[in-house]
Structure 1
Amino acid sequence: MFILQARNLKKHFGEKPVLEDLSFDLNKNDRIGLVGANGAGKTTLANLIYGDIEPDQGTINRNPQMRIGYLLQSVDYTVNDDNQLSAEFLERASELGLKKVHSWQEERFSHLSGGEKLKIALAQIWATNPDILILDEPTNHLDFQGVNWLMNQLQEFNGTVILISHDRYFLDKTITKVFELDLGKLTIYNGNYSTYRIEKQKRYEDQLHQYDVQQKYKARVEGQMAQLQQWAGKAHRTMRDQEGFKEYHGVKAKKLDNAINSKMKRLNQELEKNKVDKPIEEKKVRFQFEASKKRGKRIVEAKSLSKTFSNRMLFKESHFYVNHGERIGIIGPNGSGKTTLLNMLLGNETITSGELSISASLNIAYLSQDVADMPISQTAIEALNLSEKDKLFQARTTLANMGMKADKLTQPIGTLSLGERTRIKLTNMLLCENDLLILDEPTNHLDLASREQLEETISKFPGTILIVSHDYYFINKLCNKLLVIEDRKIKRLEMNLEQYELKKKQQITPDKQLLEEELLRVNTEISAVLGELSLLSPESEKYKELDASFLSLTKNKQDLMNRLGN
């Protein structure tokens, strides 16, 4: 049963059309997410439903006794003693964390923070027991106590809810229907935000397919008309040039002209009847990290770098460099000094000899293999220590991109898995405007799906990344350059891991080539000996000589194969 009915709504501001021919019903207990890009008309539609503005055209039918509670995106609180101190208001305010609001003086109400203003406004709206709730960005400025209270209240609310929000996690937990505004048009989807995203992509692909089919049909008919036009033109020219055949070619040209006009008419009718517009590809909104101004600048350089522990040499006489913006994988056998090199870059380990220059203005973030050093009693959001709305939104987005569910953010870190703790640490690194990320086995505690999500997130980071990892696919996808520790030296290579492994297989040293040539010769001799043995009797002296030669050759072959590593 609908409680509000809108038909053919149009709204313009000056010359600019904002809403074009919108029709919809609001039913009791609907949970609607109103989504769209900035400037799409979400707040305008909310104001139309609320009755604050009137449409230029169209009608809105609502019960005049119906109460609508409307939380504006920008809350300017004013003292209203008739409402603010009601029992219902005080109860709601207390639930939101404003436990002493009843004792506040009037002066206190004039110095409210953004979060306090929002909580006061929410408490006021709930105290009116509305039939329809319209909440415009209700989680802005709210702490997690307020957000959790709001989600719980919306589940229990016996009325219709319209939410305007860019917080997809909040929407996923609260809505069952999506109203999408795009280019002045309204499209309705059933389900929560995630379901809407899947269905939107499916509709786009279906429309694109239909459009492609239509365009191919149009091109085929236009090709046929072009051929007919060519023949008609030839008939007209022949009629002019050949006096005696005017009548014949005139009739032919006229028939072709009629055929062209007929095909054009049918094409236009067909396109008009079943026209499929080319779908507008959705603008990709990418998570933007703060870009540094150091791009292209050399931020790390090593000259004749050596490191020794007691009598053990890890690497010596090594030369390499790192430029800003590069993604470099550090590889080498266990114990070759990879983690030691990271500690030298962090200033936690001294160099034995040589030089290691690091840009003084560099902001470095380090993810160690150990994630047990986090405050286990704090929640993820508390540990991240984010107070700005934009940073909090980015943190939630980043964690979601790495597969961490929203409800995990309010749980104590001690209850989270090692993989979830790794995600929190990574998020902190990504949000702190660092220039260099140093990641030591970042995928150790992550499942396969989480590793792919982590790759996608880190790939958007504009600064420099150094990765130590035994995860082949992870390091191969992210890093197009390598620092390789082999033969007790660190070498920089302009290739990814796959190219490096291929080069190693193809690379044949002179010694190895000689061994392989010798093995080929031995195999040839073994074949020849076996050929002769097959023709001789075991009792003959020649057979005994060849048998001894065969044993010697097979022993030699095994030795060569061992030296080649086969």
Structure 2
Amino acid sequence: MFKITNSNTSNRERTREVNNLTILRARNIDKNYGDKEVLKNISFDISGGERIGLVGFNGAGKTTLANIIYGITLPDKGTIETGKESFKVGYLLQSVDYNVSDFHQDNMTSEFLEITSELGLKKVNSWENEHFSHLSGGEKLKIALANIWVSNPDILILDEPTNHLDLQGVRWLINQLKGYKGTVIIISHDRYFLDQTVSKIYELANKKLTIFDGNYTEYRIEKKKRYEEQLHQYDVQQKYKERIEGQITQLKQWAGKAHRTMREQEGFKEFHGVKAKKMDRSIKSKMKRLNMELEKNKVERPSEEKKVQFQFNAGDKRGKRMIEAKQLTKKFANRTLFQDSYFFINYGERVGIVGPNGSGKSTLIKMLLEKESISDGDIWKSSSLKMAYLSQDVADMPLNKSVIDSLGLTNREEIFHARTTLANMGMKEEKINQPIQTLSLGERTRVKLTKMLIQEHDLLILDEPTNHLDLPSREQLEETLSQFTGAMLIVSHDYYFLNKLCDTLLVIEDDKIKRIEMSLEQYETKKNMSADEGKKQLEEQLLRLDTEITAVISELSLLTPDSDRYQELDKQFLALTSKKKQLLAIE
């Protein structure tokens, strides 16, 4: 144990001094689970006030390292030292599973109640025990977060803190972390959240830890730069090696010829013998120089990041209506989630469902799937509609069945397709025949996605699809879904994911479901704008659209309807006029 000493300095100087001091040291940490080596020779220092993002593929050892720092897991080798005797670590676990007994009205301090209120949970102290026994995932997480926050830990470890938080909760947590004086370690696959909260990235890969300065986006840029630099150095070294080995091969050929000539030509033995020995010495010298160079400055070929592949199939019915809700109402006892709501979804549209925790996002999905009753109103669905649903709950899978058995496949071709799909998503062959209960949460999500991938669908209903997926898998899923020609209905806390994929929103607010013809970023901007600012921006957008429409009409007038360019411009014209109609509706 090493000590931190206090000096008689001002509060501001002391804060700066503490923030520069090392509060935790990890040295030569190894951790194995049976024959599986998870961490090898991991060392790092953590200073006061640092904001660290811990990233890596599923199974890379992130939670294991967090458990070692917290103290609930011991390393097989190495040490963790802290800067003081009463060192406190606050740990928000990835799977929040607290009992009602963990929350008593007696220990609900004013600070705790203030935090839960800011997170959108009103009057927690007046909740009955019955309420605590039916908490949603988001409500559990918010209460757990508030409970940990008021304990004022030296290091705060947050394992996937945004998995069940609504946008209000995410914004609150981002703002709180900016003002938090302690050290924070965040395990997260939420790129937006990491960009807003951390200034250093710890990457776990191949049992090793690599440290990068900056937030997630800066880390990705720097990692790519390091990969390209190492690949260049490796290529240079390989060319040098090939050149030297070529010279050695040539010398060996010459030396062999000299040895043969010496044996064959009796009168030139001495001359060719000297020549052969000289070449032998040159070969040994070059071999020695090459080996020394490789030993001293050997550059390994950088390992490429694992590629995760998704591919969804869809029919081609774009533009046609698939779902329409009229006067839709949902009530539970005395509580109304939404009422008298109207919305529609067309084939090919990408729609995000937005609303605070408890507003009815998952309930709406269940109503569309006919797993929840309608209190009033009606939902019409096309008779030819083919839907696929990915729930956020991975606990609803048959835990004792193997991966293949859980998919319910009997056709040999389908089984082969499923195995190929799982492999493309990074699932190792030996995992496919294991029971579901032995898989990580991320691996279980991949199995669920596989079930959707092997069939053709018109509508993908995705409830928190990125939960438990590692960052590369999220980015690949995002890229693949952007190419999907069918319709999507998405509930997600992942701001980047939702904003990139969805250009239309179903917003649940004020007891209504409202269809909004804009992206999440546009919607958030509009909400935060004054009326005059919003009107000015809308006028500018309409002006730009009018200019584009005029340009398209001008070019169309010069073409014949049978030309490819005419068809292309005609589609562009329809898209522009549709966008203008949407903006005029907002106005």
TM-score, normalised by the number of residues in structure 1 = 0.58
Q: Is the 8 A contact 1:70 1:133 kept in 2?
A: yes
Q: Counterpart of 1:40 in 2: which secondary structure? A: coil
Alignment of 1:80 onto 2:63: no
Give the RMSD, CA atoms, in angstroms: 4.4
Deviations 1:460-496, CA, capped at 9 Å, x for gaps: xxxxxxxx99689xxxxxxxxxx99964x55669999
Aligned to 1:19: 39
Match of 1:217 in 2: 240
Alignment equivalent of 2:276, drawn from 248, 253, 273 = 253
Task: Give 1:414 shift.
Answer: 8.4
Question: Offset of 1:278 from its aligned partner?
Answer: 1.5
CA distance in 2, matches of 1:28, 1:151: 19
Task: Tell me, in whole angstroms, the C-alpha distance in 2 between the residues paired with 1:443 and 1:38.
Answer: 47
Answer whether contact 1:90 1:101 (CA < 8 A) is retained: yes
Name the CA shift for 1:220/1:46 in 2 (closer, same or farther; >3 Å). same
Question: What residue number does 1:41 align with?
Answer: 61
Seen in structure 2, the aligned counterparts of structure 1 residues 108 and 20 have a Cα distance that, compared at 3 Å, is: same
Cα distance in 1 for residues equivalent to 2:235 and 2:557? 49
> Which structure exhibits the higher relative contact order, with contacts defined as CA atoms closer than 8 Å and separated by 6 or more residues?
2
Which digits, 9 at most, give the CA deviation of each residue in 1:43-74, with x for residues without a partner?
Answer: 11111111111112221111331110001111
Equivalent positions of 1:55-454 (< 5 A) are 55-62=75-82, 63-78=84-99, 79-81=101-103, 85-283=108-306, 290-292=312-314, 294=315, 364-365=347-348, 381-382=354-355, 388-390=463-465, 391=490, 392=492, 396-397=496-497, 399=499, 410-412=524-526, 415=529
1:6 aligns with 2:26: yes
Residue 261 of structure 1 aligns with an amino acid whose one-letter code is K
Q: 1:289 to 1:248 in 2, by over 3 A?
A: closer
* C-alpha spacing 1:25/1:39, structure 2 compared with 1 (3 Å): same
Q: 1:38 to 1:77 in 2, by over 3 A?
A: same
Contact in 2 for aligned 1:85/1:102 (Cα 8 Å): yes
1:282 Cα shift? Answer: 2.9
- The 2-side partners of 1:385 and 1:181 are apart by 37
Does structure 2 retain, via aligned residues, the 8 Å contact 1:2–1:28? Answer: yes
The 1:496–1:141 alpha-carbon spacing in structure 2 relative to 1, beyond 3 Å, is same
In 2, distance between residues paired with 1:484 and 1:15?
72
Aligned to 1:29: 49
Q: Secondary structure of 1:254's match?
A: helix
Q: CA deviation at 1:222?
A: 0.9
- Aligned pair 1:50/2:70, yes or no? yes
CA distance in 2, matches of 1:158, 1:214: 47
Tell me the distance in 2 between the aligned counterparts of 1:221 and 1:419. 69
CA distance in 1, matches of 2:220, 2:48: 25
Partners of 2:546 and 2:43 in 1: how far apart? 47
| Residues in 2 aligned to 1:447 and 1:268: alpha-carbon distance in whole angstroms | 67
Letter aligned with residue 87 of structure 2:
M
Equivalents in 2 of 1:494, 1:386: separation in Å?
A: 42
The letter of the residue matching 1:34 is L
* 1:380/1:411 contact within 8 Å kept: no
Give the C-alpha shift of residue 205 in structure 1: 1.8
CA positional deviation for 1:92 = 2.3
Deviation at 1:249, TM superposition (A): 2.9
- In the alignment, the residues of structure 2 paired with residue 493 and residue 46 of structure 1 have an alpha-carbon distance, to the nearest angstrom, of 58
Q: How many pairs does the alignment contain? A: 378
Verify the 8 A CA contact 2:163 2:493 in the aligned structure 1.
no
> How far is 1:259 from its partner?
1.7
Unaligned 5+ runs, structure 2 = 1-20, 323-344, 363-462, 466-489, 504-517, 570-587
Following superposition, the deviation at residue 90 of structure 1 comes to 2.6
- Secondary structure of the 1:261 match is helix
- Written as runs of structure 1 = structure 2, the 5 A alignment for 1:515-530 is none
* Amino acid in structure 1 at the alignment position of 2:464: K
| CA spacing shift, 1:98–1:182, aligned 2, 3 Å | same
CA distance in 1, matches of 2:213, 2:140: 33
Q: Provide the secondary structure at the position in 2 that maps to 1:60.
A: strand
Instruction: Give the greater-gyration-radius structure (CA).
Output: 1
Instruction: Call closer, same or farther: CA 1:250–1:15 in 2, change over 3 Å.
Output: farther
SS at match of 1:18: strand
Structure 1, residues 177-214: CA drift from partner, whole Å, max 9, x if none? 11111212211111212221222222122212211221
Name 2:420's counterpart in structure 1.
none
CA distance in 2, matches of 1:81, 1:496: 62
- Give the Cα–Cα distance (whole angstroms) in 1 for the partners of residues 303 and 546 of structure 2: 37
Aligned to 1:516: none
Distance 1:366 1:490 in 2: 28
Contact persistence 1:484–1:493 (CA under 8 A): no
Aligned partner letter, 1:75: V
Kindly indicate whether the alpha-carbon contact (under 8 Å) linking 1:20 and 1:185 is maintained by their aligned counterparts in 2: yes
Letter in 2 for 1:396: Y
The separation in 2 between residues aligned to 1:24 and 1:247, in whole angstroms, is: 64
1:160 offset after TM fit, Å? 0.1
1:80-124 CA-partner distances (Å, limit 9, x unpaired): 256853443333222222223212333332222111111111011
Structure 1 stretches of 5 or more lacking a match? Answer: 301-341, 348-361, 368-373, 422-440, 449-467, 473-482, 498-566
Mapped partners of 1:413, 1:289: distance in 2: 36
* CA offsets 1:245-286 (integer angstroms, 9 cap, x no match): 444433332332222122111111111111111122334567
Q: State whether residues 442 and 469 of structure 1, in contact with CA within 8 Å, keep that contact through their aligned partners in structure 2.
A: no
CA–CA distance in 2 between the matches of 1:27 and 1:407?
Answer: 35
Tell whether the 8 Å contact from 1:6 to 1:60 is kept in structure 2 after alignment.
Answer: yes
1:446 and 1:158 map into 2 onto residues whose CA distance is 51
Q: How far has the Cα of 1:400 moved from its partner?
A: 5.0
SS at match of 1:118: helix
* Corresponding residue SS for 1:55: coil
Deviation at 1:444, TM superposition (A): 5.8
Partner Cα distance (1:80, 1:493) in 2:
67
8 A Cα contact 2:165 2:493, kept in partner: no
Q: Which residue of the partner structure matches residue 338 of structure 2?
A: none
Aligned partners of 1:396 and 1:406 also within 8 Å:
no
Q: How far apart, in 2, do the equivalents of 1:76 and 1:417 lie?
A: 43
Aligned-pair distance for 1:407? 6.7
Shift in Å, 1:233 = 1.3
